[in-house]
């Protein structure tokens, strides 16, 4: 069954990461080993049909093998490593409205079973879920079917997910006042203002938590404190700009929010192993640089 999903991904992958005409569906196809890649994930489900992916954020790391799915619940700066290729996956961004409507239809709008806040979690895919995801990708074979059928198949995927081990986490994700939602709102607030000085009290107010509670739940979910999370956002964006090569390291450091170029150089080297200029030159030599945004998915 995974072979059918991988074959459908192959048919419609024009590049490593391919956007598609099916709403919220992206396909990923990688045949050769590649360097670990920095990405900013938003809430999504990655269904792995072939190969293995490791996603690391702060102190936490999650591995998804063929036949498994990786659920990212909040906006999260990660380092992605494909530890086994060829790699094929179908990535579906979460539609909160569709999930809420399904929960209403299922009469499951009450309090969800409490679960630990997790920015990422892996789980096996049941055969019925693999079949639904495969049919979602196969809609690309018959474009006229996308408009009338895509929403129906997407609802089936969400239903299968609710009946899987991810069900409690999805229900928590959908609640307006759950701890997961509060951490997600805090992460989005930081993402929107990552170049600005960080105020823990202000973020805690946005999340409707005390500063101590925010720090505890945020660190448990992401593997990072809010300040470390902001640092990773800054360094990922700085690295992207350095590879493009349209500004100096000092200019980029200032643009992403660093008041001190010395601090930027120190934190950059600690994270990536080389000074900014050397790291960018190495990456340009090995990769074909593209001015892609950090919200691309793998």
For residue 180, what are the contacts with CB-CB under 8 A and spacing of at least 6? 73, 74, 117, 169, 172, 173, 221
Question: How many degrees, rounded to 5, is the angle at CA 227 between CA 224 and CA 231?
Answer: 90
Would you give per-residue pLDDT tens digits along the chain (298 residues)? Answer: 899 999 999 999 999 999 999 999 999 999 999 889 999 999 999 999 999 999 999 999 999 999 999 999 999 999 999 999 999 999 999 999 999 999 999 987 655 555 678 899 999 999 999 999 999 999 999 999 999 999 999 999 999 999 999 999 999 898 888 899 999 999 999 999 999 999 999 999 999 999 999 999 999 999 999 999 999 999 999 999 999 987 999 999 999 999 999 999 999 999 999 999 999 999 888 765 444 443 444 5
pLDDT value of residue 163: 94
In CATH terms, 228-286 corresponds, of 1.10.10, 1.10.287, 1.10.3470, 3.30.70, to 1.10.10
Cβ–Cβ < 8 Å for 122, 63: yes
For residue 143, how many C-alpha atoms fall within 13 Å in the half-sphere facing its CB? 3
For residue 102, what are the contacts with CB-CB under 8 A and spacing of at least 6? 155, 158, 159, 162
For residue 239, what are the contacts with CB-CB under 8 A and spacing of at least 6? 38, 268, 272, 276, 279, 280, 283
CA 186/CA 182 separation, integer angstroms: 6
The SS3 assignment for 76 reads strand
For residue 78, how many C-alpha atoms fall within 13 Å in the half-sphere facing its CB? 29
CA 181/CA 207 separation, integer angstroms: 8
pLDDT value of residue 110: 56
* Tokens of residue 92, six digits: 């579906």
Question: How many degrees, rounded to 5, is the angle at CA 266 between CA 264 and CA 271?
Answer: 95
CATH class of the structural domain 2-174: mainly beta
Cβ–Cβ < 8 Å for 223, 58: yes
- Dihedral (C-alpha) 206, 211, 217, 220: value to the nearest 10 degrees? 130
pLDDT value of residue 246: 77
Cα–Cα distance list, 97 to 88, 155, 201, 217 (Å) = 28, 11, 30, 25
For residue 76, list its beta bridge partners: 41
pLDDT value of residue 286: 78
């Amino acid at each position: 069954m995974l072979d059918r999903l991988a074959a459908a991904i192959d048919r419609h992958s024009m590049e490593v990461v391919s956007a598609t005409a099916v709403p919220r569906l992206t396909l990923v196809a990688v045949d050769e080993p590649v360097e670990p890649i920095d990405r900013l994930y938003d809430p999504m489900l990655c269904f792995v049909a072939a190969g293995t992916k490791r996603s690391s954020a702060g102190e936490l790391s999650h591995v998804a093998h063929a036949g498994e799915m990786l659920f990212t619940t909040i906006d999260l700066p990660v380092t992605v490593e494909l530890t086994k290729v060829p790699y094929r996956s179908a990535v579906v961004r979460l539609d909160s409205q569709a999930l809420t409507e399904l929960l209403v239809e299922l009469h499951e709008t009450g309090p969800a079973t409490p679960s630990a806040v997790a920015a990422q979690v892996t789980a096996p895919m049941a055969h019925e879920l693999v079949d639904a995801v495969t049919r979602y990708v196969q809609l690309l074979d018959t474009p006229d079917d996308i408009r009338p059928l895509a929403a129906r198949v997407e609802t089936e995927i969400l239903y299968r997910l609710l009946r899987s081990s991810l069900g409690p986490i999805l229900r928590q994700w959908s609640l307006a006042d759950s701890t997961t939602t509060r951490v997600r709102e805090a992460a989005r607030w930081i993402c929107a203002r990552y170049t600005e000085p960080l105020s823990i009290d202000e973020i805690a107010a946005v999340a409707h938590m005390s500063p101590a509670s925010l720090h505890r739940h945020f660190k448990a979910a992401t593997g990072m404190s809010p300040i470390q999370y902001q640092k990773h956002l800054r360094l990922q964006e700085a690295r992207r700009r350095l590879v493009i090569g349209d500004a100096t390291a000092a200019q980029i450091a200032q643009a992403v929010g660093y008041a001190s170029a010395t601090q930027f150089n120190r934190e950059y080297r600690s994270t990536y192993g080389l000074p900014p200029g050397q790291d960018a030159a190495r990456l340009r030599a090995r990769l074909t640089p593209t001015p892609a945004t950090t919200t691309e998915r793998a």
